[in-house]
Structure 1
């Protein structure tokens, strides 16, 4: 009815109009757009992605419909329907007086006359979104000439000094040697130097070759395992690492930690950054299985949290894929590609089609655990085989100490792994094993062995023994009759009857043997316990061919279904010598079983499962219920034309994506990482918005320096450690933090680096430094995270752990990180909760920080331990104890007035109170 009314109105206007009048766009149409439309659909704002001040954009239309105008077709042109509808919620413009009848008549006639919009008459030009510094190739600037080359130590300083001189500023004096040592040690390792390291450095730096002393310190710190622990934290902040899934049911990810350990190891090994990228996107193809944990570090809804209806499932899948795309693009490229999920990016040259084409690269990735392939898997397999052979030999020797069958002594119950039946020695060429009942389904035997009095297995097919059986279930290479005496154990090398609960096997040797024992098992590897023979008879044929029963299940202890507890070895009937030999064998058996379990254990990591990729469609307004055309994997079209066919396999897609991102010719990848490294040394990057190098990000403070560093980075083989070395040995980094009011009035944020920008150390460094100075820090690396709370996941009820011991004294990076729950003490120090990517920790100052750090159980315990450590080193002399506390905590001797004040504190309140005060001092908490 609404549409009919609108077109009736148009028809009446057409009748009243003077036929033959020609509508001129500039004279007649544009003034209408300017008056009614440009405020919402012009240069400053484009509601619903519609822009009407530029021809090319206007004819594309907006979100939710196609072209706004169909030339020559009034009824199919949304523009006319929107300005004439009687639906107040849809009519345009939405507020104020609508278009007059004359204006509607003009627009209608313009559409009828094919909506002529001449070229070259637009008042605005469409901005070239690729005309942006970070989207252009990396330049190759030369270090600039400066008037004071005596200050510079490397090319970094030339760029910084040139900028300062242009702004009328000068650098600050250099920091003293100990200040630099404390700064660089905290910076590179997240721990303070020891008093012994300070002494050694001062002795070396006072020598003539003091530059070598500085270089030696940096080399030592970069080789320390503590370096990887410190710098991995920066990376984990960006990728949103946590040990829980997030959302309402914040359940644990028990196997997330291998990715954290991978990142630490990667930084310690200085894995080239381009390889670091490839490993995190396609580590399953390059021998770094745990690295792909990067793809799925973000929050995700678990199946039980998703509605069972198809729309809910589709929406959850879209959200999961979105997190992967966002993680990849903001981490490696510094782009907010996720903004194009519902519409073309408002600012950057990224279309909605680009977004879904990027999604197609990872549409086969599932948030899940995956079994890892150890790098030494072949060596493990060889070692496991040797252990199994030795273990089988031990079992056979132990079987010699089991009671004879049928002599009135109860024998151990039947088990799935291995059973031994001893009997009086008999000469024979044939043995028959008959099964009368099983615990489930058809009987299965992995190996049937017959031993002579010399301990040799004469049943082996390799010795010429032939096998016959009742019905046989033949599954190629798994349950064939030939496998029952091939010398191999395990379900995959077994015989299976084709009759439920029964069957028989006859072994016929190539010659007569004197035999005394039969050994058999369902599955020596212990993986399966069904199809186990629980009632059986063993018969031996004499030389005339008569069968005699030598053993059966009647004298065995009761078989208890589903009982996995091993039956203790029985020493009944053994002599003292036999008991000693049996005990030795049992000890060896237990040792071998532990070794075998460890070497055959298959570790898991929350690193993604990979399957056939989903078909990805462009979604209208990002709605999974409004799919449009299917898209194939393709990189951002404004940067490259790389694409893959729609049938490309899953791993091939991720390989192509990783290669494109890690290319040295990519304008963003190396720039973004160099900026992250610079930021972590100076508190702010050359580009302040470290994860947004797009048009809404901040411009670089030193663009030539950024590009020069980027060139050095790629040319050095993408070495992150080389970048550290260059930065921390520069005169720029070695400046003091000395205040300069005149310089601060020009550059309050120290963006031009006229001094070293001091800042508070992060939460992890505070906690780790307290433990280290207290002498309690556990430097054990890796493994499952220690608990910060009384539970490792869930809806609520996270009670903080207040007192730590054991693994709780490891570095804070090894804590079990619960998403959306901050550490009770150090969470107040701007420690991110893993909910969102943290490109840069914003430093806050709150009363809670002081209260936590002064009154918490953690602080009290470390203060007491610190005091105890010093009192152990220095027994009676309070002045020396005070001096030692300052040396350990602040890397300097106390001044005379500090000693005087500290004496009264120690005498009245104890040494622990002094330690507690120093933990709360700015000198302990800030980079010098």
Structure 2
């Protein structure tokens, strides 16, 4: 009604205004925007992505529609529709103060007059979103001069010290060598040093750094290093062994990616190569590495709605996860925020987002063969061996008891059945089925053998087939498959009658036959539709039918058996038994070899196909596609693009090249910051996966750029960056508290002391196992169970007592998404649902209860006590107590600690002391 009234008013006043002067934007239009619009669509706030105080932004429009104004076209300009609508829910501005008819008339005339908005009249200046420290090229950082010349051990220290001196702070004294050794060993390997490691280091340490360097080199060469640092990476990329969402089914072949990451860190794979392998490893003989692309949760085809819109939305979600994984992991950017609209803060447009999607639009969440060439070779060899196996079966069939003889013949099974009878001359054989174990009968191949062992039923020998009728599907269950010489359900005949049917084979010419062989599915995949009652007949020269075999003398049918009966020589003459036994041995060896060839290694590492056509989606809605978008990198950071029809693998290769280009300002910065965070608990940039404008500023920007350049110049060596950091005086500091420094820098971000922190969940569990002498150092392979099931909707009962593989390092546990380990999940262990750039460090009662009362702790305490008793070779309690401290805390106990422990150990056992130390801060925190 209001819109109608407004239009009436306009109809009255517009003619009189037509002759008026031209609408001036500054005089007539901007005051309307200032009065009614800027509070929601101005500098401080841009609801629905619309900003009206800057020309370039205003004409782009908001999130829900295209251009706000179409110059000269009132009907197609959303601005006029919005301000004049009679729908109060959509009219702008909202509330009880709409624009007056005169104001609407002014805006309408402005649009009619081509919406002239002169340049240079905006009251605000659009902020340059590229004017941000992380988007600029790496600075050529100059190592600063410092007052304290004696303290720095490296250029890292000079950058840190310069910042401390500018704040009037001094670094803490160096840590005791024993404490440094425990710190760096836990830090680099996730395990404590042994007492022998401590003794050797303390004997070797001197005034120079040689002993320290030797320790670091040894730790970096340890396979334990890769296991430790791979965990940091897996946190970021959301690795888990289930799919997530409500279904949360198992990914049985996800673990090869986890093993790849461990190997990559152990081998010090150059970081730029590490990136390329994870994006385009299928071109670099690193198929498992591409598991990175699909580590996130996903709904697979059978888990989504069957309607096309649901499928399109699910596909969009799956591609989005890949884009998010790539950009936040390698670039530290929240590109996923631009899925529905231009990024609110960073220079990333809606078009940029879909151009990034186009790079990975051919990636599917699925298993792939780890080595396609090897898999092809295995299948080829397997096919040859299966033919040999078939030949052996036919030879062994000569020793099958005759049908109708006194000997009971084997039970019917789904794979292979042989009916042997006295030689008979015929040209036609009919196989009639009277009953099945389920549904319509099915036969994958019917074979007829002469006395020389030749299969005369083959179509390539001129044999023809007829039947009572068949249930035909396209290229499946056709009558022609009955004698084509190929086995398996997909090459079988199926009757069109439940429980019965017949097939007849007419040979090219009459011959003397003695055996018929048949199976339901000789590949062993299906055991239903199996003939359980049947008759085999042959026709004489006059066409009269005679039964030569049937199911009456077979052992009773057993639905639980689908394999041939056990080999037996019962009833055979000595020479026949010897021949049969020899053939059977050969058959057994062939079966073993075929079984081993069938185990083709797979990895949940993505399959690649022709890319989807990627369109820009209005509001991110797959049902509102707009322009086709070709692959292109983020426009603000480069100009790399590809034609819309570019091959799938080329797309990913180009993307990887752009990310790893040393000129990219983000890649090296993000990674060295992650490494720094791993050593100090927090990165130079606190928001490790967000280097955008909403992320935190670096505490030491010059140091970050210096390290990034060193990283690139070293050949992208992660181990070299570790070495640089852990051998620094900054890392060697003690945790000594300083009240004045705390008043200036309470969070310790300036590193005036070493920032102690609690060990993560995996390190606590692994250290307890190692301390008790039970840790299994077996590497790689399928994960061990933390729960009674490996996936599903619910019902995850925790495993409480571990043995065998359950004593391996926790990184090798089967990780169920959204389910935390019963004991160590309380220690802020991520559940794989979201990327965890940095683990939080909470303190809760459940942590103490789990670590003190859990069955795991009790068992490891008992194992620790038994180990110490076996090593002490004495009944005296004091040596045992000392040994417990040496192993658990890497130090000798104080005299009062020994005196306090003796009555506890005497009254409650050594395991009580072990249990107490497992719960001590000294065991649980990085010193």
TM > 0.5 fold call: yes
Counterpart secondary structure, 2:616: strand
How far does residue 729 in structure 1 lie from its aligned partner after superposition? Answer: 2.3
CA distance in 1, matches of 2:428, 2:262: 57
Do residues 618 (structure 1) and 616 (structure 2) align? yes
Do residues 357 (structure 1) and 355 (structure 2) align? yes
CA distance in 2, matches of 1:385, 1:70: 68
Residue in structure 1 matched with residue 866 of structure 2 by the alignment = 868
CA distance in 1, matches of 2:404, 2:558: 24
Counterpart secondary structure, 1:675: helix
CA distance in 1, matches of 2:575, 2:734: 78
CA distance in 2, matches of 1:480, 1:507: 21
Residue in structure 1 matched with residue 856 of structure 2 by the alignment = 858
How far does residue 895 in structure 1 lie from its aligned partner after superposition? Answer: 1.1
Residue in structure 2 matched with residue 463 of structure 1 by the alignment = none
How far does residue 93 in structure 1 lie from its aligned partner after superposition? Answer: 2.9
Q: 800-809 or 570-579, which moves further after superposition?
A: 570-579
Counterpart secondary structure, 1:33: helix
Select which of 737, 740, 743 maps to 2:741: 743
Do residues 757 (structure 1) and 755 (structure 2) align? yes
Residue in structure 1 matched with residue 810 of structure 2 by the alignment = 812
Give the 5 Å matches for 1:359-378. 359-373=357-371, 376-377=374-375
CA distance in 2, matches of 1:50, 1:606: 42
Counterpart secondary structure, 1:159: helix
Residue in structure 1 matched with residue 880 of structure 2 by the alignment = 881
Counterpart secondary structure, 1:501: strand
Do residues 221 (structure 1) and 219 (structure 2) align? yes
Counterpart secondary structure, 1:502: strand
Q: 1:69 to 1:734 in 2, by over 3 A?
A: same
CA distance in 2, matches of 1:391, 1:716: 57
- Cα RMSD between the aligned structures? 4.3
Residue in structure 2 matched with residue 544 of structure 1 by the alignment = none
Do residues 502 (structure 1) and 520 (structure 2) align? no
Q: Once the two structures are superposed, what CA deviation does each residue of 1:466-490 show, in whole Å capped at 9, x if it has no partner?
A: 95544699x99xx999x999xx996
Do residues 271 (structure 1) and 269 (structure 2) align? yes
How far does residue 163 in structure 1 lie from its aligned partner after superposition? Answer: 2.9
Q: 1:585 to 1:194 in 2, by over 3 A?
A: farther
Q: 1:273 to 1:388 in 2, by over 3 A?
A: farther
Q: Once the two structures are superposed, what CA deviation does each residue of 1:355-405 show, in whole Å capped at 9, x if it has no partner?
A: 112222223333334454367446756875786688678768866765578
Q: 1:637 to 1:254 in 2, by over 3 A?
A: same
How far does residue 909 in structure 1 lie from its aligned partner after superposition? Answer: 2.1
Give the 5 Å matches for 1:368-767. 368-373=366-371, 376-377=374-375, 380=378, 408-412=406-410, 436=431, 467-470=461-464, 501-503=503-505, 557=554, 563-574=561-572, 586=584, 589-590=587-588, 592-767=590-765
Counterpart secondary structure, 1:882: helix
Do residues 825 (structure 1) and 823 (structure 2) align? yes
Q: 1:88 to 1:171 in 2, by over 3 A?
A: same
Unaligned runs of 5+ in 2: 468-473, 496-500, 540-545
Question: Is the contact between residue 10 and residue 108 of structure 1 (CA under 8 Å) also seen in structure 2?
Answer: no
How far does residue 43 in structure 1 lie from its aligned partner after superposition? Answer: 1.3
Question: Is the contact between residue 241 and residue 814 of structure 2 (CA under 8 Å) also seen in structure 1?
Answer: yes
Q: Once the two structures are superposed, what CA deviation does each residue of 1:666-694 show, in whole Å capped at 9, x if it has no partner?
A: 22222212211111111111211111111
Residue in structure 2 matched with residue 11 of structure 1 by the alignment = 11
Question: Is the contact between residue 256 and residue 605 of structure 1 (CA under 8 Å) also seen in structure 2?
Answer: yes
Counterpart secondary structure, 1:625: coil
CA distance in 2, matches of 1:712, 1:551: 85
CA distance in 2, matches of 1:256, 1:432: 56
Q: 1:109 to 1:497 in 2, by over 3 A?
A: closer
CA distance in 2, matches of 1:582, 1:143: 84
Question: Is the contact between residue 277 and residue 658 of structure 1 (CA under 8 Å) also seen in structure 2?
Answer: yes
Residue in structure 2 matched with residue 196 of structure 1 by the alignment = 196
Q: 856-865 or 830-839, which moves further after superposition?
A: 856-865
Give the 5 Å matches for 1:768-783. 768-783=766-781
Q: Once the two structures are superposed, what CA deviation does each residue of 1:12-59 show, in whole Å capped at 9, x if it has no partner?
A: 443565943454433443333333322211111111211121122122
Q: 1:250 to 1:158 in 2, by over 3 A?
A: same
Do residues 925 (structure 1) and 906 (structure 2) align? no
Counterpart secondary structure, 1:629: strand
CA distance in 2, matches of 1:215, 1:32: 70
CA distance in 2, matches of 1:142, 1:805: 55
Select which of 253, 259, 262 maps to 1:261: 259
Counterpart secondary structure, 2:209: helix
How far does residue 918 in structure 1 lie from its aligned partner after superposition? Answer: 0.6
Counterpart secondary structure, 2:592: helix
Unaligned runs of 5+ in 1: 461-465, 510-514, 540-548
Residue in structure 2 matched with residue 335 of structure 1 by the alignment = 333
Give the 5 Å matches for 1:75-90. 75-90=75-90
How far does residue 436 in structure 1 lie from its aligned partner after superposition? Answer: 4.2
Residue in structure 2 matched with residue 184 of structure 1 by the alignment = 184
Counterpart secondary structure, 2:366: coil
Q: 1:23 to 1:468 in 2, by over 3 A?
A: closer
Counterpart secondary structure, 1:844: coil
How far does residue 235 in structure 1 lie from its aligned partner after superposition? Answer: 1.3
Residue in structure 1 matched with residue 319 of structure 2 by the alignment = 321
Q: 1:250 to 1:459 in 2, by over 3 A?
A: closer
Residue in structure 1 matched with residue 141 of structure 2 by the alignment = 141
Q: 1:768 to 1:581 in 2, by over 3 A?
A: farther
Q: 1:656 to 1:3 in 2, by over 3 A?
A: farther
Q: Once the two structures are superposed, what CA deviation does each residue of 1:289-347 show, in whole Å capped at 9, x if it has no partner?
A: 33333222222335565444443333333222222221121111111111111111111
Q: Once the two structures are superposed, what CA deviation does each residue of 1:38-92 show, in whole Å capped at 9, x if it has no partner?
A: 2211111111211121122122222223333344445544334433444333333
Q: 1:192 to 1:447 in 2, by over 3 A?
A: farther
Question: Is the contact between residue 827 and residue 847 of structure 2 (CA under 8 Å) also seen in structure 1?
Answer: yes
CA distance in 2, matches of 1:449, 1:721: 68
Question: Is the contact between residue 356 and residue 632 of structure 2 (CA under 8 Å) also seen in structure 1?
Answer: yes
CA distance in 2, matches of 1:65, 1:17: 30
CA distance in 2, matches of 1:107, 1:492: 73
Q: 1:315 to 1:422 in 2, by over 3 A?
A: closer
Give the 5 Å matches for 1:152-191. 152-191=152-191
Q: 443-452 or 291-300, which moves further after superposition?
A: 443-452
How far does residue 353 in structure 1 lie from its aligned partner after superposition? Answer: 1.1
Residue in structure 2 matched with residue 543 of structure 1 by the alignment = none
Question: Is the contact between residue 387 and residue 592 of structure 1 (CA under 8 Å) also seen in structure 2?
Answer: yes
CA distance in 2, matches of 1:654, 1:755: 44
How far does residue 889 in structure 1 lie from its aligned partner after superposition? Answer: 0.7
CA distance in 2, matches of 1:94, 1:494: 68
Q: 1:803 to 1:123 in 2, by over 3 A?
A: same
Counterpart secondary structure, 2:757: coil
Question: Is the contact between residue 428 and residue 504 of structure 2 (CA under 8 Å) also seen in structure 1?
Answer: no
Residue in structure 1 matched with residue 288 of structure 2 by the alignment = 290
How far does residue 519 in structure 1 lie from its aligned partner after superposition? Answer: 10
Residue in structure 1 matched with residue 542 of structure 2 by the alignment = none
Q: 1:870 to 1:90 in 2, by over 3 A?
A: same
